[in-house]
Chains A and B, each alone.
Chain A
């Protein structure tokens, strides 16, 4: 009996631990000025892989990301791009160290991400919460 209780407790703990990564929802955000550039078929994977480099109006897309080992970054890459962080890193490294492209700008906190998106025209990034700010546009609010 005691043993059964123990295994149930273990199961509960495991169930609690497992979904920790997906407890927060990641939101893709852009500078408010780029809201009209987003279209139904906007390809986030292509933008964050730096293959689509310009918004439809011709302005260069300013991409901001969190570091590779950041949990929000990992969740973003899996949920929104349907990729793994190491795939994205390989793509960025290839362009960086052959001179054929520029990787996204890395910011080190959510606060810095918000600040960059607010103040940089044509920018795109992601955060783990919803905020009210007239300079920030939420991608899924279309």
Chain B
């Protein structure tokens, strides 16, 4: 019986290799001018199909692992006075340029990030869409994409899980870890337009559709760890206008989003039944990229509306986040970065006193100020290692899932982090 199965497998394998070999021969044949001429003489014109499809398929990926040690509060698992290996990111993508104006792209992501994903981690579809270019002239390109599309928001959001593409292990506070899954991608459509001119390159994107559910955001809005329901994404949009001068030496971007979510109650007596959230942030970004020196600043002003509570009044806090960051390349592949980062949950309550009165929770959960220094070494184009240190005052950025005891969250604390990354 076993032998029979083995024979079948061997037979299938040989058949497969024969077909693969034959296909290769056909491909070789259609690629060479001489043979294609022979084929066309036989009555069928292969010329339009001469394009070798495998040249139009690309496979890329990345992998990174972080190590964290902190005082006061936990980050990505149990890092307080201990070492946590709680941040793992693995991505694999495939893209296929089927026709000059039609392409497909897909990326799978495995992510393990402390308690928010659990120790087993989570696998998700990071993006997956069809891209149809409607106009493609040498200076102008206009098109549409449909499926799950990354959100261009600020400078780093769309590649936030690819460690190579941002300067420090922790992203600036504008890219709040707990709103990560909400901001990450849009299920819907995108209209895009690129215009390359003598004074620089303009890029416009408009995403419309549904954002993702977010448990951490709900915990933060309700300040209640026992909240039973979940947020249900409603129609939202996100848009960005970006301007690159001199091949990206100077980059300016303006991003705006309008995100709606409704609360889906758990059971008949859920006190949050009917709650609506409406978040609409704007971000202004500017960056200078010199040969050795770079300077980045981003400012975000975020309107929040949490309404229709049955047990308390509507809340309309305005959050503000900004940072300024400087980098210097000591060598082509060694870069030093320093950043000052500040964030408040409600600009009318910068010290969190009102927050403390309303919730009974520590006032420092309402703001964060963070000084960061980091060193990055690109050992080869494929391997990178970096390390950084944070001096933090305030705790609005801490994860309620990693730090369930809100009353004992520290006000002044530090993080030491190390990360190794690989890409292809």
Question: What residues of chain A have their CB less than 8 Å away from a CB belonging to chain B?
Answer: 43, 45-46, 49, 51-54, 58, 60, 62, 67-69, 74, 81-88, 90-91, 93-94, 96-100, 102-103, 106, 120
| Nearest CB in chain B: distance from A22 CB, A | 14
Number of contacting residues on B, CB 8 A?
Answer: 46
Whether A84 contacts B291 by the Cβ 8 Å rule is yes
- Give Cα A120–Cα B95 distance, bound, in whole angstroms: 20
B residues 60-115 touching A (CB-CB < 8 Å): 60, 62, 91, 93, 95, 97, 100, 105-107
* Cα A52 to Cα B128 with chains together (Å): 24
Q: Which residues of A contact B196 (CB under 8 A)?
A: 46, 51
Number of A-B residue pairs, CB cutoff 8 Å, is 97
Partner of B159 from the list A82, A97, A103 (CB cut-off 8 Å) is: A97
Residues of B within 8 A of A90 (CB): 165, 248, 289
Q: Are B138 and A99 in contact (CB under 8 A)?
A: no
**Given A51-B201, A69-B381, residue A98 in contact with residue B247 (CB < 8 A):** no
In the bound complex, residues from chain B placing their C-beta under 8 Å from that of A52 are 138
Q: How far is the CA of A103 from the CA of B93 in the complex (A)?
A: 13
Q: List 15 A-B contacts (CB under 8 A).
A: A54-B136, A58-B100, A68-B378, A82-B247, A86-B289, A86-B329, A87-B247, A87-B249, A88-B247, A90-B248, A93-B159, A99-B105, A99-B131, A99-B150, A102-B97
Name the distance in Å between B51's Cβ and chain A's nearest Cβ. Answer: 8
Known: A68-B381, A81-B247, A86-B289. A98 touches B97 (CB 8 A): no
Q: Which of B255-304 contact A (CB under 8 A)?
A: 289-291
B194 in the interface, Cβ–Cβ < 8 Å?
Answer: yes
Complex interface: chain A residues within 8 A of B165 (CB):
90, 93-94, 97
Given contacts A53-B136, A93-B164, A97-B107, contact A83 B91 (CB under 8 A): no
- Among A51, A81, A82, A85, the one with the most B-chain Cβ atoms within 10 Å of its Cβ is A51
